[in-house]
Copies of this chain bind each other. A is one copy, B any other.
Amino acid sequence: MLIQHHSAEADTPTDVEAPAPKLPAIAATADALLDAAMLKRIQPEAFSPHALGRLEDLVLQLARVQSAGHLPLDLLVFDSPQVLVFAADHGISDEGVSAVPQQATRERVQQILQGRAPINTLAETMGFDLTVVDAGVASHVVEAGAAAPSVPLLVRKIGYGTRNMVLGPAMSLAQAISALQAGMDVVRHLPGNVLALGDVGVGNTSCAALLLSRLCGVPLADACGRDHPIPGGLDNTQLQNKLEKLSAAASRHRKAVKPLDALAALGGFEIAMMAGAMLQAASERRVVLVDGFVAGAAALVARGLCPPVADYLVFTHRTIDPGHRLMLIHLQVQPLMDMELRVGQGVGALVAWPILQTAQALLEH
């Protein structure tokens, strides 16, 4: 198959004239003294080290986030946990890269707003406040004159969906920076010290695969591959088409290698906002629960912009996307769970939340 390469230099964003985004200061959390003190408290007697496995690692990470260098840390305290669901549409949907039509984004958002989606159940069960952010859905999410939704909706539209990145950059650098700032701004106005992030957006696993490929050097065929057919998913022909379209986009924007440039060329509004939300939350020493593949792509961008953010991110769930497995390897993290969810919305983050509460309980006793 011959892929047409248009001259792409002209419309690929680069940082030549880019205003640098204002990023908050984030402190790395490494603290060997604290680690030793915490391990001493939680390791059971009459067992060899690391008997509590990755629960120990989790306790240490959470303690580092919450200690702010003030020894001794007595207890982990989780206060007013928040879940933010960022929704947006993607121009690349025009290329037939998704198994569901673009309007499913709006339908899924409306279900959440009406309290009928899995994330509503989970937020209620786990005691999270749920907020939906319209980062750029391709239509009005709420009709004029419709009843007010039962879940708060913040309309922070950067656009009505991104542009088709096969034809040009998904967004301008200015839009990418606006989206980052909007994500920060949303978090700044939320209470609590725990933030879970989820996404809704048909086509956004294409962005995640492209960002993974670009920022980690993973071959695109692996980043958007598939281990086995998924019922209701893409068939082999459609998958081949997706790979060709993503290859065309990657080729067109081959100069967009810096995190911000890659985000603008290959990302999405919800991904940019999640990255901003992670940066802001980390700067405020909140624990950040990262859901699946798409939120993981936002984490890649955030880490590229400000590496210490990684200390604050708890990767909660591995989705069935094969690219997600590679992404987590590149991030050098193991997720807390692997339940094969592919519902987005932050559901994975909230299913895993009780594990953090267990870590908290182990430290209390």
Contact = CB atoms under 8 A, between A and B. Distances in A.
Interface of A: 44-55, 99-100, 104, 107-108, 111, 116-118, 120-122, 124-125, 230-233, 320, 336-343, 347, 351, 354-355, 357-358, 361-362, 364-365
Nearest to A109: B46
Contact of A54 (B44, B111, B121, B340): B340
Task: With a 10 A CB-CB cut-off, give which of A44, A122, A351 has the most chain B CB atoms.
Answer: A44
Contact of A342 (B51, B122, B357, B358): B51
B49 A232 contact: yes
Nearest to A202: B46
A120 B365 CA distance: 9
How many copies the complex holds: the figure is 2
A44 B342 contact: no
Given A48-B100, A365-B120, A53 B339 contact: yes
A47 B108 CA distance: 8
A340 B48 contact: no
Contact of A358 (B48, B49, B351, B364): B351
Contacts of A347: 52
B339 A55 contact: yes
Contacts of A365: 120-121, 124
Which 4 A-B pairs give the minimum distances between C-beta atoms?
A48-B232, A53-B340, A354-B354, A121-B365
Contact of A52 (B52, B116, B118): B118
A46 B104 contact: yes
Contacts of A48: 99-100, 230-233
Contact of A51 (B52, B343, B357): B343
Contacts of A354: 354-355, 357
A122 B358 contact: yes
A44 B117 CA distance: 6
Contacts of A116: 45
Contacts of A230: 48, 50
B53 A342 contact: yes
Given A48-B230, A125-B358, A337 B340 contact: no
A362 B53 contact: no
Given A46-B111, A116-B45, A51 B341 contact: yes
A110 to B, nearest CB: 9
B54 A339 contact: yes
A55 B351 contact: yes
Nearest to A358: B351
A116 to B, nearest CB: 7
A52 B341 contact: yes
Contacts of A336: 337, 339
